[in-house]
Amino acid sequence: MQTSRVIYFEIPATRPEDCMKFYQQVFGWQFSQLNDEAYWLTKTGSDELPGINGAIKPGSKAQPSVINTIQVTHLERTILAIEQYGGQLVSAKQLLPGIGKLVYFKDPDGNVHGALQTDGTAK
């Protein structure tokens, strides 16, 4: 399983437990509840590597979703994991010349994110 990072985020979720399970299974993220609050700190990877941590918090469908782009090592494996653990692709794979390959997906709560496999030689 890969671990992947974004810069910072708060993900609103109507079913926080389902979202935490999804992100743990697909990206290897770890969660810890902040005190007794309905707010779960999210550790996305080693503090020695560049990147950020964030949080999952209660939200509603009326709140706009944040789109985070998550760097992944293997886009094809990530697509399979997204679908296996309750996510849904919302775009075809896109080639971004000089950047890599990108796909957008919904997590089990309907939040939209991107998964990017970087490749500076992509044409």
Could you report the per-residue pLDDT of 40-95, keeping only the tens digit for each?
A: 988 999 988 878 888 898 887 666 677 788 899 999 999 999 999 999 999 999 99
Tell me which CATH code domain 10-118 carries.
3.10.180.10
Percent of all residues in the chain with a pLDDT value above 90, rounded to a whole number: 45
Residues 6+ apart with CB under 8 A from 112: 65, 67, 90, 104, 105, 106
Q: What is the pTM of this model?
A: 0.69
Break the chain into its structural domains and give their ranges: 10-118
Residue 53: burial class (beta carbons within 10 Å; 0-12, 13-18, 19+): middle
In the numeric block, which tokens belong to residue 18?
């389902």
